[in-house]
């Protein structure tokens, strides 16, 4: 007997003014499976989730849950139907305790009073089932994103959810935390829940999912068992025929390498990162690889002056330079796209135009304003050149997709005509299409003579792009791989060099 | 924040604020029928609207400074006390025989010093603005009392009296000074890149710093401007009553200034600011006060009436009501179809 | 971070305190009387005058007077009283900032057998034995004196009056209002047409008077009654700026007797003020001296509420200028 269809969406349509967000999409989830929902930005994933959770109503098609037609009106009704969705920033209350969050709105009471002890005991048991042993009386906000997500999942599962929707839960988790989350997902699967897993990480699809559905332009283009689809095929499905097979565009290495642009010697800061040497020549990509916490991000922070180095020296275009802060670095011709775009990069409520003009304006000083016209021209130019998808330059940047935000940040630095661009995880949390575009941009910029320092946790990405790779381990440089020797295997080997010490 | 229904784009910017001011003025016209009656006498304009501008001048000045501070996600609680200090310095200056210009310069200098102190605490020491400025709010009034030795310092220096009672182009000096200062600050931030920097720092201080925005300098700057404007307001208030009243000058006006920013549609979470609408907010507030004072209610009802009216105005301006309006419009259209 | 705040606050407070406080030294000369004075603060000219006159009176009588500035906070005054008890002063003068919450600390003073004399304001307590005597003005009488002057001055002419109240909610305001109303109750020609709070300040007094003039017209106001001189000084300016002649077109009567109102009277811009005598310290010292001699003290010593008119204004101004 085939497994029961827990959720069945057929011919689902949703129209927004000028956009057909969903155009007859189908989507089936069985009880007891983890189902990956994949697609580029704009493919219709978010709209589909919004319909399932009752945030918006479909214009056509039908949704059935366990065979019965369902039209949830609002998240509360969706929850009654057994559908719970968890977003990256969960809806829990950070200043209530873990236990209070778990039982919010359904606290065990006696004579109208909350039975705190009992609630805390229950909470401890509930979390222990997921291998989570934490102080349930502490405020939830004290814990990491990972723990908060697990608490949210535990709460949803305990609310007798049948279908759990996880929307990019791993984008801010490190490897260990991700593994922990996967373990919990497998447990819930074993208990018969259906799990919808939205992610940008293809590796994770293969690691934890049973089946997958790919959406493109509002339609379902594939519904397959994970084992049947190769990585290349999957990328092809998501991007469409034109880009099929374009996993990562490989650079022509060393094609246009010029003179030294910036040289760091013995650059370091105590307790943050041990001194390292690094030289950038015009037109090359230097990458930093290493595990999370290996010190790779710290090298970038020091190089940009976001933290001040306490040892070493810098030479830019043959002249010594002092980096006391980002402003010094910018004056030296550096640009920096930080890892946490939302926190350290974009100025959310400001427009795309203002975000692009910001660094150039900051370098020019307050007294010499770029005219509105000049800013608009600048924005127009980069929106076109980098293919930033936004209706116009006045849209607040926070309303753009991750990939387009990243391109806007790139534009911000390109506007300053930099020598050296420091990119920390430039493709993190960006869909496959955006991913490829950004790597293509990196290649083009190098061809124009820029130097690029790129930090990435995706070895394949590094291998495809970098001329040289600085491998970091335990907050110190652990080797430099150059030219033809650059390959995922070589980097992996360098990271893991002394066996047993690699886990950072 | 969320603009799901797009009501903000549907209504012209500043519409709700101007509507609130119009309502407040209309309420006044009901209370006193000859409210809009203006009279030109001795080359000077008289009438209730002029009174409102005159009385509202300090709030306008404080509001403009507060709008900049709030745009950086800060708050300046010390402005009322800075007013008292500046008034005391100006009065003590002329009392000690200093020329009027020097006295005023000293008073404004005191405001700049206060602003600098606040700015350093916030930008360099990293103290939360509400705490940092509370220090001067509490201590400042004491400093002002120290300057006046605890008495109301009356003066009769003719130039200061002219500031209090004279007129420029038919308008009271205070009105001209306040509007000119507001315009000057507006030009200074909008004709330079300061507005962009202030908004960027308010929305995301960390990202701004990494983009090379001199965040600390921007913070010091806004507190400095706030202090200078508060000192200006302090000189105007002292000139108005021809005395420095260290105890009462500017008392609770910091709250009026915050309210002016809020009535002007500003968010206490920083970011976008509008000096023009803040001025509108300050004038709305003063118009409401005038209305209540003139309505002839027993004074016991003043605070309740004020609170009620302010609540109503804020509700009118709230996104929820705007959204309701936005929702009603298409519905009405459907009915017609 | 918090230490910075604490440092800054205490530095600023120290700055203020050095200006106003007298540090209470332990030295006590044999045979000399030591009195601790817990003063409200120095929030007004009148308050400073009260402090200064108490100090002068003490010096004349050879009494050591230790003044503690309460910064208008009850806890500071309570702390000061406890410190006076610890220093074993011979008597404590208290000008209470608020009327309630004194029972405990005054009980401590009684246990230490230190007599307490209240100045200027009453307290609410069930146990009147907590203090020896109270020296204060009768605020109702002040209002009545002001009202009676107006009745006499008008001689039957019809007169709409506007009233500038003090801060809403205090007994002081209620009494000054009541006294005035009592005085004009019999005069059918006088009636209060508007009343509004000027919060005891010049700025508010001016603003409210401006409002009155706009609302009912300057020609329809015959007299202004203000609960204190400062509000009246603001109102006088408002009248002048509206082209009216205070003291002539519109009569003025207010309470307190601060120097500036005498200046205004001398200039013909004000008509009358009722003095709230600031020499309460001297009277309290007299009560104390009598008590130490005879063991008797009156429970309430009422200070006079004298009416001052323009004829003596110039001289009074000269006399008071340095005091306030």
pLDDT at A253: 62
CATH number at residue A424: 3.40.50.300
Q: Which domain holds residue A488?
A: 260-333+418-495
One domain, residues A321 and A199:
no
One domain, residues C149 and C127:
no
Let me know: does A2 contact A25? Beta carbons within 8 Å. no
pLDDT at A292: 64
At A129, the pLDDT band (50, 70, 90 cuts) reads confident
> What are the residues whose beta carbons fall under 8 Å from the beta carbon of C97, sequence distance 6 or more?
C40, C41, C70, C72, C73, C74, C77
Is A31 a member of any domain? Answer: yes
Res. A317: pLDDT tops 70: yes
Beta strands A311-316; A319-321: pairing state = antiparallel
pLDDT at C21: 38
The whole-angstrom distance between B127's CA and the closest CA on chain C is 6
Mean pLDDT to the nearest integer, B220-231: 98
Cα–Cα distance measured from residue A59 to residue A15, given in angstroms and rounded to the nearest whole number: 7
Q: Give the pLDDT confidence of A408-423 residue by residue, as tens digits.
A: 999 999 999 999 999 9
One domain, residues A87 and A156:
yes
Put simply, whether B161 touches C (Cβ < 8 Å) is: no
Indicate the length of chain B as a whole number.
Answer: 337
Cβ within 8 Å, pair C195-B299:
yes
Q: What average pLDDT does chain C have?
A: 88
Cβ within 8 Å, pair B191-A369:
yes
Is A398 a member of any domain? Answer: no
Cα–Cα distance measured from residue C36 to residue C25, given in angstroms and rounded to the nearest whole number: 11
The whole-angstrom distance between B324's CA and the closest CA on chain A is 18
Mean pLDDT to the nearest integer, B119-128: 95
At A290, the pLDDT band (50, 70, 90 cuts) reads confident
What is the distance between the terminal CA atoms of chain B, rounded to a whole angstrom? Answer: 33
pLDDT at A498: 53
Cβ within 8 Å, pair B165-C241:
yes
Is C244 a member of any domain? Answer: yes
One domain, residues A60 and A186:
yes
One domain, residues C117 and C97:
yes
pLDDT at A42: 65
Q: Give the pLDDT confidence of B71-92 residue by residue, as tens digits.
A: 999 999 999 999 999 999 999 9
Is A23 a member of any domain? Answer: yes
The whole-angstrom distance between B1's CA and the closest CA on chain A is 9
Res. C44: pLDDT tops 80: no
pLDDT at C71: 82
Report the share of chain B in percent with pLDDT over 90.
69
Last residue of one domain, picked from the residues C131, C149, C179: C131
One domain, residues A205 and A267:
no
One domain, residues C108 and C252:
no
pLDDT at A250: 65
Is C163 a member of any domain? Answer: yes
One domain, residues C144 and C252:
yes
At B6, the pLDDT band (50, 70, 90 cuts) reads very low
One domain, residues C96 and C38:
yes
Q: Give the pLDDT confidence of A466-499 residue by residue, as tens digits.
A: 999 999 987 889 899 988 888 877 887 787 765 3
Nearest-CA residue of chain C relative to B120? C4
Q: Which domain holds residue C175?
A: 139-276+310-320
Is A236 a member of any domain? Answer: yes
Report which of residues A339 and B244 the model is more confident about: B244
Report which of residues B281 and A41 the model is more confident about: B281
Helix axes B15-31, B275-295, angle to 10 degrees: 20
Cα–Cα distance measured from residue A411 to residue C55, given in angstroms and rounded to the nearest whole number: 74
Report the share of chain C in percent with pLDDT over 70.
90
Cα–Cα distance measured from residue A316 to residue A279, given in angstroms and rounded to the nearest whole number: 10
Report which of residues B50 and A437 the model is more confident about: B50
Chain B residues with CB inside 8 Å of C201's CB?
Answer: 245, 247-248, 251
Nearest-CA residue of chain B relative to A350? B200
Let me know: does A28 contact A8? Beta carbons within 8 Å. yes
One domain, residues C189 and C205:
yes
Domain total of chain A: 2
Res. B229: pLDDT tops 70: yes
Res. B225: pLDDT tops 90: yes
Judge A/C contact: 3 or more CB pairs < 8 A: no
Cβ within 8 Å, pair B200-A368:
no
One domain, residues C36 and C80:
yes
Last residue of one domain, picked from the residues A185, A211, A243: A243
Cβ within 8 Å, pair C215-B127:
no
One domain, residues C272 and C143:
yes
One domain, residues A236 and A297:
no
Average the pLDDT over each of A68-82, A206-220, A239-253 and give the range with the smallest value.
A239-253
Let me know: does A431 contact A381? Beta carbons within 8 Å. no
Cβ within 8 Å, pair B142-C13:
yes
Chain B residues with CB inside 8 Å of A350's CB?
Answer: 196, 199-200, 203, 271
Which ranges of A191-340 would DSSP assign to H, the alpha helix?
202-208, 231-239, 296-303, 326-331
pLDDT at B194: 96
Kind and range of the H or E run holding B44: strand B44-46
Nearest to C318 by CA among C239, C259, C242, C271: C259
Signed CA dihedral, B92, B93, B94, B95: sign only: positive
Judge B/C contact: 3 or more CB pairs < 8 A: yes
Signed CA dihedral, C15, C21, C22, C25: sign only: negative
Last residue of one domain, picked from the residues C131, C152, C170: C131
Q: What average pLDDT does chain B have?
A: 89
Report the share of chain A in percent with pLDDT over 70.
90
Q: Give the pLDDT confidence of B18-57 residue by residue, as tens digits.
A: 988 999 999 999 988 888 988 888 888 888 999 999 999 9
Cα–Cα distance measured from residue C186 to residue A176, given in angstroms and rounded to the nearest whole number: 91
Cβ within 8 Å, pair B248-C194:
no
pLDDT at B75: 96
pLDDT at A428: 74
Cα–Cα distance measured from residue C245 to residue C249, given in angstroms and rounded to the nearest whole number: 5
One domain, residues A226 and A326:
no
At B120, the pLDDT band (50, 70, 90 cuts) reads very high
One domain, residues A147 and A279:
no
Mean pLDDT to the nearest integer, C301-317: 95
One domain, residues C183 and C166:
yes
pLDDT at A502: 38
Average the pLDDT over each of A35-39, A106-110, B265-269, B323-327 and give the range with the smallest value.
B323-327
Res. A88: pLDDT tops 60: no
One domain, residues A236 and A270:
no
Cα–Cα distance measured from residue A138 to residue A135, given in angstroms and rounded to the nearest whole number: 6
CA atoms in the 13 A half-sphere facing the CB of A38: 32
One domain, residues C164 and C85:
no
B225, two tokens:
């401007």
Mean pLDDT to the nearest integer, B306-315: 84
Mean pLDDT to the nearest integer, C213-235: 94
The whole-angstrom distance between B295's CA and the closest CA on chain C is 8
SS3 B31: helix
Res. C251: pLDDT tops 90: yes
Put simply, whether A165 touches B (Cβ < 8 Å) is: no
Put simply, whether B37 touches A (Cβ < 8 Å) is: no
Residue with token string 């110039």 = C314
Res. A246: pLDDT tops 80: no
One domain, residues A89 and A38:
yes
Q: Give the pLDDT confidence of C193-212 residue by residue, as tens digits.
A: 999 999 999 999 999 999 99
Cβ within 8 Å, pair B193-A361:
yes
The whole-angstrom distance between B53's CA and the closest CA on chain C is 12
Q: Which residues of A155-179 are buried (b: 16+ CB within 10 A; e: fewer)?
A: bbbeeebbbbbbbbbbbbbbeebbe
> What are the residues whose beta carbons fall under 8 Å from the beta carbon of A45, sequence distance 6 or more?
A37, A38, A39, A198, A215
Report which of residues A140 and B229 the model is more confident about: B229
One domain, residues A160 and A287:
no
One domain, residues A236 and A264:
no
Cα–Cα distance measured from residue B217 to residue B120, given in angstroms and rounded to the nearest whole number: 9
Last residue of one domain, picked from the residues C131, C162, C189: C131
Compute φ and ψ for B192, nearest 5 degrees: -120, -170
Cβ within 8 Å, pair B241-C203:
yes
Cβ within 8 Å, pair A365-B212:
no
Domains of chain B: 7-336 (1.10.3470)
Q: Is A430 left (phi over 0), alpha (psi -120 to 50) or beta?
A: beta
Cβ within 8 Å, pair A347-B208:
yes
At A252, the pLDDT band (50, 70, 90 cuts) reads low
Q: Give the pLDDT confidence of C158-200 residue by residue, as tens digits.
A: 999 999 999 887 888 999 999 999 999 999 999 999 999 999 9
pLDDT at B325: 55
SS3 content of chain B, % helix, strand, coil (to 5): 75, 5, 25
Which ranges of chain C would DSSP assign to H, the alpha helix?
2-20, 45-61, 74-86, 103-111, 139-154, 171-185, 202-216, 229-241, 259-266, 280-294, 313-320
Is C23 a member of any domain? Answer: no
At C318, the pLDDT band (50, 70, 90 cuts) reads very high
Cα–Cα distance measured from residue C197 to residue A401, given in angstroms and rounded to the nearest whole number: 57
One domain, residues A157 and A266:
no
What is the distance between the terminal CA atoms of chain C, rounded to a whole angstrom? Answer: 41
Domain total of chain C: 2
Let me know: does C69 contact C46? Beta carbons within 8 Å. no
CATH number at residue C149: 3.40.50.2300
Residue with token string 């007013």 = B83
Cα–Cα distance measured from residue B27 to residue B291, given in angstroms and rounded to the nearest whole number: 7
Last residue of one domain, picked from the residues A243, A276, A304: A243
Q: Give the pLDDT confidence of A209-229 residue by residue, as tens digits.
A: 999 999 988 899 999 999 998
C122, two tokens:
């009453």
Is A14 a member of any domain? Answer: yes
Q: Which candidate from B127, B241, B247 shows the least CB-CB separation from C206?
A: B241
The whole-angstrom distance between C293's CA and the closest CA on chain B is 37
Cα–Cα distance measured from residue A275 to residue A309, given in angstroms and rounded to the nearest whole number: 9
The whole-angstrom distance between B67's CA and the closest CA on chain C is 25
Cα–Cα distance measured from residue B192 to residue A369, given in angstroms and rounded to the nearest whole number: 5
Let me know: does A123 contact A98? Beta carbons within 8 Å. yes
Is C200 a member of any domain? Answer: yes
pLDDT at B5: 37
Q: What average pLDDT does chain A have?
A: 86
Mean pLDDT to the nearest integer, C117-138: 92
Put simply, whether A304 touches B (Cβ < 8 Å) is: yes
One domain, residues C75 and C180:
no
Chain B residues with CB inside 8 Å of C169's CB?
Answer: 300
Number of H helices, E strands in chain A: 16, 22
Is A357 a member of any domain? Answer: no
Cα–Cα distance measured from residue A56 to residue A47, given in angstroms and rounded to the nearest whole number: 8
Put simply, whether B132 touches C (Cβ < 8 Å) is: yes
Chain C residues with CB inside 8 Å of B156's CB?
Answer: none
Is C234 a member of any domain? Answer: yes
ipTM exceeds 0.95, yes or no = no
pLDDT at C77: 94
One domain, residues C175 and C101:
no
Nearest-CA residue of chain A relative to B198? A366
């Amino acid at each position: 007997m085939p497994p029961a269809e827990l959720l069945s969406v057929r011919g689902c349509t949703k129209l927004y003014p000028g956009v057909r967000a969903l155009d007859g999409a189908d989507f089936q989830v069985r009880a007891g499976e983890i189902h990956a929902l994949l697609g580029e930005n704009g493919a219709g994933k978010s709209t589909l989730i919004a319909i399932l959770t009752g945030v918006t109503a479909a214009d056509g098609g039908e949704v059935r849950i366990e065979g019965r037609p369902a039209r949830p009106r609002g998240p509360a009704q969706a929850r009654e139907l057994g559908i719970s969705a968890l977003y990256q920033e969960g809806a829990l209350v950070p200043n209530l305790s873990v236990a209070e969050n778990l039982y919010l709105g359904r606290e065990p009471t006696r004579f109208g009073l909350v039975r705190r002890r009992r609630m805390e005991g229950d909470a401890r048991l509930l979390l222990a089932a997921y291998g989570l042993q934490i102080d349930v009386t502490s405020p939830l906000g004290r814990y990491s994103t990972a723990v908060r997500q697990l608490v949210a999942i535990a709460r949803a599962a305990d609310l007798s959810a049948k279908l759990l929707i996880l929307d990019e839960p791993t984008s801010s988790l490190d490897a260990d935390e991700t593994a922990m989350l996967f373990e919990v997902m497998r447990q819930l699967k074993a208990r018969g829940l259906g799990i919808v897993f939205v992610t940008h990480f293809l590796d994770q699809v293969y690691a934890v999912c049973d089946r997958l559905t790919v959406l493109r332009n509002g339609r379902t283009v594939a519904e397959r068992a994970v084992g049947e689809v190769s990585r290349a095929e999957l990328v092809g499905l998501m991007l469409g025929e034109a880009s099929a097979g374009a996993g990562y565009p490989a650079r022509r290495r060393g094609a246009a390498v010029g003179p030294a642009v910036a040289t760091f010697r013995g650059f370091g800061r105590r307790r943050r990162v041990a001194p390292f040497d690094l030289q950038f020549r015009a037109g090359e990509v230097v990458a930093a690889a290493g595990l999370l916490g290996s010190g790779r991000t710290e090298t970038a922070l020091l190089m940009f002056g976001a933290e001040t180095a306490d040892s070493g020296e810098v030479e830019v275009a043959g002249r010594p330079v002092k980096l006391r802060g980002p402003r010094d670095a910018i004056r030296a011709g550096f640009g920096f796209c930080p890892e946490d775009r939302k926190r350290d990069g974009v100025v959310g409520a400001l427009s795309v135009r203002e975000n692009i003009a910001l660094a150039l304006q900051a370098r020019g000083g307050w007294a010499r304003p770029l005219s509105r016209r000049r800013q608009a021209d600048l924005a127009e130019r980069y929106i076109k050149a980098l293919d930033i998808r936004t209706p116009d330059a006045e849209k607040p940047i926070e309303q753009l997709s991750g990939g387009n935000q990243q391109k806007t940040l790139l534009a911000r630095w390109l506007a300053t005509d930099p020598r050296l661009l420091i990119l920390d995880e430039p493709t993190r949390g960006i869909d496959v299409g955006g991913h490829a575009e950004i790597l293509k941009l990196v290649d083009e910029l190098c061809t124009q003579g820029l130097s690029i320092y790129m930090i990435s946790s995706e070895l394949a990405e590094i291998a495809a792009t970098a001329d040289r790779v600085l491998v970091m381990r335990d907050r110190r440089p652990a080797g430099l791989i150059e030219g033809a020797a650059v390959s995922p295997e070589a980097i992996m080997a360098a990271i893991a060099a002394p066996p047993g010490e690699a886990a950072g | 924040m969320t603009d799901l229904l797009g009501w903000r784009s549907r209504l012209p910017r500043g519409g709700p604020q101007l509507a609130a001011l119009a309502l407040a003025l209309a309420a006044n016209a009901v209370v006193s029928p000859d409210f809009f009656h203006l009279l030109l006498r001795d080359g000077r304009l008289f009438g209730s609207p002029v009174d409102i501008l005159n009385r509202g001048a300090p709030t306008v000045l404080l509001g403009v400074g507060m709008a900049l501070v709030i745009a950086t996600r800060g708050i300046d609680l010390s402005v009322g006390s800075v007013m008292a200090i500046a008034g005391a310095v100006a009065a003590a200056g002329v009392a000690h025989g200093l020329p009027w210009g020097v006295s005023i310069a000293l008073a404004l200098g005191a405001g700049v010093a206060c602003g600098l102190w606040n700015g350093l605490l916030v930008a360099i020491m990293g103290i939360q603005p509400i705490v940092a400025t509370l220090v001067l709010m509490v201590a400042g009034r004491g400093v002002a009392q120290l300057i006046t030795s605890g008495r109301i310092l009356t003066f009769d220096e003719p130039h200061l009296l002219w500031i209090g009672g004279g007129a420029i182009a038919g308008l009271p000096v205070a009105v001209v000074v306040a509007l000119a200062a507001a315009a000057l600050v507006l030009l200074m931030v909008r004709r330079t890149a300061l507005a962009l920097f202030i908004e960027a720092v308010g929305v995301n201080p960390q990202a701004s710093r990494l983009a090379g925005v001199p965040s600390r300098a921007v913070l010091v700057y806004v507190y400095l401007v706030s202090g200078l404007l508060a000192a200006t307001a302090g000189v105007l208030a002292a000139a108005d009553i021809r005395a420095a009243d260290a105890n009462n000058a500017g008392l609770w006006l910091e709250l009026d200034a915050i309210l002016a920013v809020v009535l002007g549609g500003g968010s206490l979470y920083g970011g976008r600011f509008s000096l023009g609408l803040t001025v509108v907010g300050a004038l709305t507030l003063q118009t409401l006060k005038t209305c209540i004072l003139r309505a002839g209610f027993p004074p016991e009802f003043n605070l309740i009436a004020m609170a009620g009216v302010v609540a109503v105005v804020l509700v009118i301006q709230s996104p929820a009501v705007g959204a309701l309006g936005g929702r009603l419009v298409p519905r009405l259209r459907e009915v017609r179809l | 971070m918090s230490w910075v705040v604490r440092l800054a606050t205490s530095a600023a407070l120290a700055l203020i305190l050095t200006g106003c406080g007298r540090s209470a030294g332990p030295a006590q000369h044999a045979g000399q009387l030591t009195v601790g004075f817990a003063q409200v603060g120095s929030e007004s000219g009148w308050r400073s005058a009260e402090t200064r006159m108490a100090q002068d009176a003490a010096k004349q009588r050879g009494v050591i007077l230790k003044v503690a500035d309460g910064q208008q906070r009850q806890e500071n005054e309570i702390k000061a009283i406890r410190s006076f008890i610890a220093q074993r002063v011979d008597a404590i003068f208290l000008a209470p900032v608020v009327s309630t919450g004194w029972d405990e600390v005054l009980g401590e003073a009684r246990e230490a057998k230190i007599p307490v004399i209240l100045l200027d304001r009453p307290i609410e307590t069930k146990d009147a034995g907590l203090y020896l005597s109270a020296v204060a003005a009768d605020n109702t009488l002040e209002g009545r004196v002001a009202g009676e002057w107006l009745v006499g001055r008008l001689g039957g002419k019809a007169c709409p009056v506007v009233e500038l109240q003090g801060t809403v909610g205090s007994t002081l305001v209620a009494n000054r209002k009541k006294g005035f109303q009592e005085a004009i109750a019999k005069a059918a020609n006088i009636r209060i047409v508007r009343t509004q709070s000027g919060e005891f300040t010049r700025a508010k007094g001016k603003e409210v008077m401006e409002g009155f003039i706009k609302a009912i017209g300057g020609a329809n106001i015959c007299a202004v009654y203000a609960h204190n001189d400062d509000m009246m000084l603001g109102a006088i300016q408002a009248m002048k700026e509206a082209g009216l002649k205070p003291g002539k077109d519109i009569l003025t009567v207010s309470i307190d007797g601060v120097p500036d109102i005498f200046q205004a009277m001398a200039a013909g811009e004000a008509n009358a003020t009722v003095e709230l005598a600031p020499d309460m310290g001297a009277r309290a010292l007299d009560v104390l001296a009598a008590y130490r001699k005879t063991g008797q003290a009156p429970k309430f010593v009422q200070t006079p509420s004298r009416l001052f008119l323009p004829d003596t204004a110039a001289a009074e101004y000269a006399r008071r200028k340095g005091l306030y």
